[in-house]
Amino acid sequence: MAPQPDLLADPGLTHLRAAGVSLVLDLSEARLPRVVHWGADLGALDPAGLAALRLAARPQPIGFSVDGPVDVAVLPEQSAGWLGTPGLIGNRGGADFSTAFRVTGASLGPGEGAAGEGPAEGRGGRLTVHAHDPAAALELELTIELTPQGLVRQRAALTNAGDTPFAVDAVHLTLPVPPDATDLLDFTGHHLRERSPQRTPFTHGLRMRENRTGRTGYDAAYLLAAGTAGFGNRSGRVWAVHTAWSGNHRTFAERTFHSVSLLGSGELLLSGEVLLDPGASYRTPWQYGSFGTGLDEVSARFHRHLRARPHHPSGPRPVVVNTWEAVYFDHDLTRLRGLADAAAAVGAERFVLDDGWFGSRRNDRRGLGDWYVSDEVWPDGLGPLTDHVTGLGMQFGIWVEPEMINPDSDLARAHPDWIMATGDRLPGPARSQQVLDLARPEAYRYILERLDDLLTTYPVSYLKWDHNRDLVEAGHQPAGRAGVHDQTLAVYRLMDELRARHPHVEIESCSSGGGRVDLEILQRTDRVWVSDCIDALERQRIQRWTNTLIPLELMGTHIGAGLAHTTDRRHPVDFRAGTALFGHFGIEWDLTRAEPADIERLTRWVALYKELRGLLHSGVSVHADHADPAVEVSGVVAEDGTDAVFAVVATATSELYPPGPVRLPGLRPELTYHVRPLPPGDVPEGNATRWGVPLPWWTPEGVRLPGLALAEAGLQAPVLFPERLILLRATAG
């Protein structure tokens, strides 16, 4: 149907449905939209049914701050009686601190990725709402969408319609959850231990997670989930929000004694950062909400949404070899050619030259900003290396860190005013770095010109885009006005312009490892570097929780040397490679010094990745709710359920011996599956094998069982030494 220009003539109720989710919005009485229901699909409801639903949800007007019930809109207002976290915090010279927006128009149309001219039942849609507060002289546009994958996403645009400036301190958007969502899950972490989960009760009051690092952050909430008691990977009802923003942001859960429970988020604006002149606008980041039974369904909605984007990586994800942990700053042409030869021999398809190729950059204390190929290290330019790499049939990639600058650089000496600072002092250095102010037009033009020249001169198909420090006292010289907001938008513009000029070039988001992982940076990058820690045991947890938001093909997962660079822990090839398999597989290891037996095993794992990547990068990620904390079971099941691969991982010693059966989630219950060990992940290194006591079904023939039996009864896994894994393949028929 064609878009509806005005919804105010009807009872003001809009019902969007998609992928098993219903979103019911109430715009009655020209007030900002309130969510009547967000959760499981309610089926087809006619106007009378929707009105009855709204009536049934109305509370008794007892104990509120004003007479009558307090309706909390997606942008909560104190004028409605809400005394929790405000949707808009701002003022005009100390006045207009509280708004009372009235809806002036609303239209319903297709959402992003939806076919046809208008929303259809079961396909979602986009509601655009215009509102005005004449007293505060502010205009508001709200966009609320239910995607075809069942994700809710919303954003707000605030415009100053007055004659004087309006200071914006915060704009928060919220989504309600029911009272039986009593558990909260969010994330914390640090460098080398990103996205570490933590659970807390959802009690009365405000749980606010703020990130002030100027990037998405190691310890940001990442995803804030509220669910029924004890919710798991496959069980319990779960509601989750994510803020798609790569700068400062806040995410919160708020519960009041009025039976109101909200998940909310928005950009965290520093004092004075956004001052709207007359006619100017501020637009919030997108807020995403996902509902499902268990975390796997919540994640699957995000993954399907990302995969539906027209620019999502669609071809086979190439096997990457990165030079960093192999050579560090030792850029020697002969050595790098030898590494490229060894990489090609094991089946690598992309060779990435890391830090140290430019200016005076022989260590991490100088040279950042001088984006010219070093005459000292590369007297003939990069051509001799790029020719060798491409001659071996591999793509060539290169490391850059465009947003940072070393004070010991030609650029800093020539333009000290291009460094972000507050007043007359520089922020404290971090890794001997400061931040280059890309909101300055001349600094932006310089970086764009240098990167454009690099991509034009050499056959670069991949940029590892790094960002290695927090933004501390990040102001614009000379006045020192806070600049994280402007810097974030400038980085987006820079990436967008480079992608427009060089559409064939992929970009990886790296930020001291996994410090910039969010859905907005992924609008302009093709994968994220999950962590600088590639110790396989640590990566088991880091990768699992990164996968909560993004699919495997966007996760950089590398196998390192036997001795982990960041933990000094040793693991065999199979555990390292089997861990890296579940992502965008790569190698960060000096293969010229590897033992022949390790090279042989690695070559087999590379071949397996190439065989499985079509499944891994299009299927549904699944994680079992296994009772034994020493055993993890996860895998990928094809969308049609006919093929699957699972990993059974022993992260520690179990209190059970043998550890008992494992269940395989996500299979179609009515299909019969042939389950068997998958080489080279079929070597169960454990005491039972060493003592010659075989697991009866652990043979190339395996077993055949219905998906229902595999999900409910499971099957025995081999006894494994700690920090080992095995692979299973399950195919229908």
Please report the pLDDT score of residue 423 as a whole number. 85
Q: Closest Cα partner for 550 from 273, 242, 337, 251?
A: 242
Which residue bears the tokens 């609008």? 523
Is the pLDDT reported for residue 718 higher than 90?
yes
Taken in order 199, 202, 203, 209, the sign of the CA dihedral is positive
Q: Closest Cα partner for 558 from 367, 319, 728, 336?
A: 319
Please report the pLDDT score of residue 112 as a whole number. 75
Task: Tell me how far apart the alpha carbons of residues 256 and 204 are, in angstroms, rounded to a whole number.
Answer: 5
**In the beta sheet, which residues pair with residue 480?**
none
Q: Closest Cα partner for 525 from 463, 580, 436?
A: 463
pLDDT more than 90, % of the chain: 93
CB 715 within 8 A of CB 665: no
> Residues, the chain, total?
733
Is the pLDDT reported for residue 11 higher than 80?
no
Which of 466, 470, 518, 535 is flagged as catalytic?
Answer: 466
pLDDT band for position 4 (cuts 50, 70, 90): very low
Please report the pLDDT score of residue 114 as a whole number. 62
Alpha helices (H) along 15-122: 47-57
**In the beta sheet, which residues pair with residue 495?**
none
Pair of tokens at residue 361: 């950059």
> For residue 594, what is the DSSP state?
S
H/E element, 690? helix 687-690
Give whole-number Cα distances, 622 to 544, 644, 696, in Å. Answer: 10, 10, 26
Q: How does strand 395-400 pair with strand 460-465?
A: parallel
Q: pLDDT tens, 464-487?
A: 999 999 999 999 999 999 999 999
Q: pLDDT tens, 145-194?
A: 999 999 999 999 999 999 999 999 999 999 999 999 999 999 999 999 99
Give whole-number Cα distances, 360 to 330, 331, 364, 698, in Å. Answer: 13, 12, 10, 56
Which residue bears the tokens 């009558």? 68
Task: Tell me how far apart the alpha carbons of residues 201 and 179 are, in angstroms, rounded to a whole number.
Answer: 12
Q: pLDDT tens, 620-658?
A: 999 999 999 999 999 999 999 999 999 999 999 999 999
**Cα angle 273, 277, 278; round to 5:** 155
3-state secondary structure of 241: strand
Q: pLDDT tens, 390-415?
A: 999 999 999 999 999 999 999 999 99
Which residue bears the tokens 């929000």? 241
> For residue 723, what is the DSSP state?
S
pLDDT band for position 122 (cuts 50, 70, 90): confident
Alpha helices (H) along 617-698: 687-690
Cα Rg of the chain, angstroms: 27
Task: Tell me how far apart the alpha carbons of residues 726 and 720 are, in angstroms, rounded to a whole number.
Answer: 8
Pair of tokens at residue 724: 């080992």
Please report the pLDDT score of residue 6 as a whole number. 37
Which residue bears the tokens 């509902």? 291
CB 403 within 8 A of CB 459: no
H/E element, 132? strand 125-133
Give the mean model confidence (pLDDT) for residues 563-574.
97
Q: In 302-444, at which residue ranges do the beta strands (DSSP E only) sit? A: 320-322, 350-353, 395-400, 404-405, 434-435
3-state secondary structure of 343: helix
Q: Is 496 a catalytic residue?
A: no
Q: pLDDT tens, 256-312?
A: 998 899 999 999 999 999 999 999 999 999 999 999 999 999 999 999 999 999 999
Is the pLDDT reported for residue 2 higher than 80?
no
CB 90 within 8 A of CB 167: yes
3-state secondary structure of 207: strand
Taken in order 447, 452, 454, 459, the sign of the CA dihedral is positive
Is the pLDDT reported for residue 8 higher than 80?
no
> For residue 692, what is the DSSP state?
T
Task: Tell me how far apart the alpha carbons of residues 580 and 559 are, in angstroms, rounded to a whole number.
Answer: 6
Q: Note every long-range contact of 420-426, with CB atoms under 8 Å and residues 24 or more positions apart, other chains counting.
A: 420/471, 420/473, 420/474, 420/475, 420/476, 420/477, 420/483, 420/487, 421/473, 421/475, 421/477, 421/480, 422/473, 422/474, 422/475, 422/480, 423/475, 423/480, 425/473
In terms of C-beta density within 10 A (0-12 exposed, 13-18 middle, 19 or more buried), how is residue 95 classed? exposed
**In the beta sheet, which residues pair with residue 555?**
528
Please report the pLDDT score of residue 113 as a whole number. 67
DSSP-assigned states of every residue in 407-446: SSSHHHHH-GGGB--BTTBPPPPBTTBEEB-TTSHHHHHH
Taken in order 221, 227, 229, 231, the sign of the CA dihedral is negative
Q: Cα 286 to the chain's mean position, in Å?
A: 13
Which of 186, 219, 354, 532 is flagged as catalytic?
Answer: 532
pLDDT band for position 118 (cuts 50, 70, 90): low
Residue type at 634? S
Q: pLDDT tens, 30-60?
A: 999 999 999 999 999 999 999 999 999 999 8
**In the beta sheet, which residues pair with residue 286?**
244
Q: Is 330 a catalytic residue?
A: no
